[in-house]
Amino acid sequence: MSFSYKFESKKDYALLILDGSLLSAFDGREMLETVDNDLKQHKNFIIDLGKVNHLSSEGLNVLLHILTKSRNEGGETILCNLSTHIQSLFIITKLSNIFTITNDRKSAAAKVKKS
């Protein structure tokens, strides 16, 4: 399955809704350009992984890149709607200790507003 994403600008954050398989840096290249361009407007990002069915090490690196950029700007990147499989991947790689992970977008938005 291919990879796609939707970008939505909100008041306090930018929402990225990922869909499909994020398997390479090439898959995430356009999304990273969108994030880079948006950093002037938003420093917080919520990434909805509810429709992601596969995530490779390069895909994890794309997400880490977004996290690093947002934290360098004083913001945060929050992941939400992780499937059991994707959640296990974050636990095994210990990335669950680095990322803020919530069950849904509403919880993620509440965390952004608190920060």
Question: Which structural domain, as residue segments, surrounds residue 19?
Answer: 3-114
- On the 0-12 / 13-18 / 19+ scale of CB atoms within 10 A, 77 is buried
pLDDT over 70 at 80, yes or no: yes
**Pair of tokens at residue 31:** 């999304």
Overall average pLDDT of the 53-71 stretch:
96
Number of domains comprising the chain: 1
Rounded Cα distance, 111 and 20, in Å = 26
Rounded Cα distance, 83 and 73, in Å = 29
Overall average pLDDT of the 29-37 stretch:
95
Q: Look up the CATH number of the domain holding residue 31.
A: 3.30.750.24
